[in-house]
Amino acid sequence: MINYKDLGLSNTADMFKKAMDGGYAIPALNFNNMEQLQAIIQAATESRSPVIIQLSKGAMSYISDSFIPHLAKAAVQYSSDLSNGNPVPIALHLDHGDSLETVKRAISVGFSSVMIDASHYDYDENVRISKEVAEFAHPLDITVEAELGVLAGIEDDVVAEKSHYTNPEEVEDFVKKTGVDSLAISIGTSHGAYKFKPAPGEEIPPLHFDILEGCQSRLPGFPIVLHGASSIPVEAVKLLNQYGGKMDNAAGVPADQVRKAASMAVCKVNIDSDGRLTMTGRIREVFHNKPSEFDPRKYLGPAREDLVELYKDKMKNLLGSAGRC
């Protein structure tokens, strides 16, 4: 059993309190390999932004549990090295945990924060499972995120075809009964690179800010989480398509909408697809322009540099988390 504090990690309690008071949101960025993690930590440290590094159950298996605490400890050390001994606060979070068993697995290898996503069960079952997780995690000083309402999209173990928006009338009862520390809600975002299908010439529909307002007025000062918040940048899709990719009609959440959510009760914004797209586009370009190149550093290196820029831009211009620590 590894204690996250021994790795130099933080849970999300203090991060969320400061984000709520300051009207900004903490970036919660998924990773699957060393280059993505290095880019996240470099961007956060150079921006002086607190950061949540997150792994899905599938990403944990891809990396292998034995590597995870060492990568997390290295992330803290890397931030320290880049800042003359002044690392930014880093939380290691389980994204879309599907059961208490997965939560226990994550905690045993040093996670400081966990999500239990039982949102696809009925209300009472969601309450039961989320409460069980909070009761297990809290004595270990680990923070817990749950979800009410369902986001469409596919992750490894939690699959939903259709969105069901959160009912603001349920949130107070849910938080009271479960004791969770933050709540993911469904207000019109979805996972992946195809979030909206606007007809030609049509605008992307706005998120349901009325639902977010309803939740924040019933839970004053309580941290809300926005999943599926990738913007799917046009330039990244263009680069990818230009060099042999095929991602027509990809569409994400317009930046001004995420910015608005971050200024409200949303304290954690989840972004994965933008990193995946950015990385893949640059690697495709290198493969296309230098077909004889076979040194991984020559294509993963430029992709990592692009990720640093992407994340710095998110911290400074989207979430307002830059310069907060």
Which residues have a catalytic role annotated?
Answer: 95
> How many chain residues interact with ligand 13P (CB under 6 A)?
14
State the amino acid at position 287 in one-letter form: F
Among 94, 136, 138, 88, smallest CA distance to 113 is for 94
Among 86, 57, 84, 60, smallest CA distance to 72 is for 60
Q: Which is nearer to ligand 13P, 73 or 268 (CB)?
A: 268
> How large is the C-alpha radius of gyration of the chain?
19
Q: Does 94 bind ligand G3H (CB under 6 A)?
A: no
Out of 35, 95, 117, 147, point to the residue binding ligand G3H (CB under 6 A).
95
From the list ligand 13P, Zn ion, ligand G3H, none, which binds 271 (C-beta under 5 to 8 Å, kind-based)?
Answer: ligand 13P
Angle between helices 34-47 and 273-289 in degrees, nearest 10: 120
Distance of closest approach, residue 113 Cβ to ligand 13P, in angstroms: 13
Q: Does 271 bind ligand 13P (CB under 6 A)?
A: yes
Residues 6+ apart with CB under 8 A from 86: 80
Strands 153-154 and 159-160, bridge-based pairing? antiparallel
Q: Does 145 bind ligand 13P (CB under 6 A)?
A: no
For 112, the token pair is 């400081």
Of residues 239 through 298, those in contact with Zn ion by CB under 5 A are 270
The total number of residues shown for the chain amounts to: 325
Among 161, 312, 223, smallest CA distance to 18 is for 223
For 301, the token pair is 């290196």
Among 252, 236, 136, smallest CA distance to 188 is for 252
For 3, the token pair is 């204690």
From the list Zn ion, ligand G3H, ligand 13P, none, which binds 58 (C-beta under 5 to 8 Å, kind-based)?
Answer: ligand G3H
Q: Per-residue x/- mask for ligand G3H, residues 265 to 304, rule CB under 6 A? A: -------x--------------------------------
Q: Does 227 bind Zn ion (CB under 5 A)?
A: yes
Q: Per-residue x/- mask for ligand G3H, residues 42 to 81, rule CB under 6 A? A: --------------x-xx----------------------
Out of 57, 73, 131, 227, point to the residue binding ligand 13P (CB under 6 A).
227
State the amino acid at position 226 in one-letter form: L
Distance of closest approach, residue 205 Cβ to ligand G3H, in angstroms: 21
For 168, the token pair is 């603001």
Residue 105 CA to residue 100 CA, distance in Å, equals 9
Q: Which is nearer to ligand 13P, 3 or 99 (CB)?
A: 99
In three-state secondary structure terms, 321 is coil
Q: Does 228 bind ligand 13P (CB under 6 A)?
A: yes
Q: Per-residue x/- mask for ligand G3H, residues 189 to 208, rule CB under 6 A? A: --x-----------------
Q: Which is nearer to ligand G3H, 117 or 285 (CB)?
A: 117
Out of 10, 11, 12, 30, point to the residue binding ligand 13P (CB under 6 A).
30
From the list ligand G3H, Zn ion, ligand 13P, none, which binds 229 (C-beta under 5 to 8 Å, kind-based)?
Answer: ligand 13P
Task: Mark out the alpha helices in the chain (DSSP H runs).
Answer: 13-22, 34-47, 57-63, 68-82, 100-108, 123-137, 168-178, 209-218, 234-242, 255-263, 273-289, 296-313
What is the contact surface with ligand G3H in residues (CB under 6 A)? Answer: 30, 56, 58-59, 95-96, 155-156, 191, 272
Residues in contact with ligand 13P by the rule CB under 6 A: 30, 95-96, 191-192, 227-230, 270-274
